[in-house]
Amino acid sequence: MQRLYSAFALSIDLTGRKKYMVERPSSELSQEAAVEVMSRLKQLYPGAKSALHYTTPFELLVATILSAQCTDARVNKVTARLFAKANTPQGILALGREELESIIQECGLFRSKAGYILGACQILVDEYEGKVPADLENLMRLPGVGRKTASVILANAFGKPAMPVDTHVFRVSNRLGLARGKTPKEVEEGLKRLLPEQEWNQAHHLLIRHGRAVCKARNPQCQICPLKDLCISFQIPGDGDTGTRKAGGDRPPASTA
């Protein structure tokens, strides 16, 4: 995917504020505009970090598996009860499937999630001395752990550069024009090309916060968005977020998923 650097031009208005003006339609923001997007997000959401509660890489692994199609707030309530009883692979295995399912039931899809957690625990005990591996390849060997979950663990538990792309990061990146793609991996690769490696972890949290607060899946708050002068979906009719726009619209529609 080729980045088009002339999508926005920098100018100064009469107040002295920098303005990023659209020169021509583009599928992605210019490097300069992208830097400004990240600067504003840092001001909007200082100290952005994971909303999941955890104290060890294993606790984050379990919490992230439970978070699929479940709110972070609900996961935190469930893991508070679960980790009070068991917060190691050995401890979870000792609980057994029936008790584990009863504890995590309100997270939804609890039978599948219990199977993933128990399967991951068994592998950790058998092959990794009960410790969560700190590399993408080995993390993705664990049941219930895909690329996004593995990247979340690398970034948050181990502080390694990673760019997890969940539904919020995918949506906001496509709408803004930071990185366009039809799959999370395409967006991940685009963001990694665009942003310095040392900013990947923070960018993930900033995009999630903006997606939850303003750039929502349905009824995005475009008119009050402090990024609207930079956002391709808002500025250029017909060049909205991949696979979620109606032709001719000048902002993400209310039906965006």
Q: Which residues are catalytic?
A: 148, 166
- Residues facing 8 on adjacent strands: 22
Cβ–Cβ under 8 Å, residues 233 and 245: yes
Q: How many CB atoms lie within 10 A of CB 201?
A: 22
Cα distances from 142 to residues 16, 62, 163, 183, in angstroms, run: 53, 11, 19, 22
In SS3 terms, the chain reads as CCCCCCCEEEEECCCCCEEEEECCCCCCCCHHHHHHHHHHHHHHCCCCCCCCCCCCHHHHHHHHHHCCCCCHHHHHHHHHHHHHHCCCHHHHHHHCHHHHHHHHHHHCCHHHHHHHHHHHHHHHHHHCCCCCCCCHHHHCCCCCCCHHHHHHHHHHHCCCCCCCCCHHHHHHHHHHCCCCCCCHHHHHHHHHHHCCHHHHHHHHHHHHHHHHHCCCCCCCCHHHCCCCCCCHHHHCCCCCCCCCCCCCCCCCCCCCC
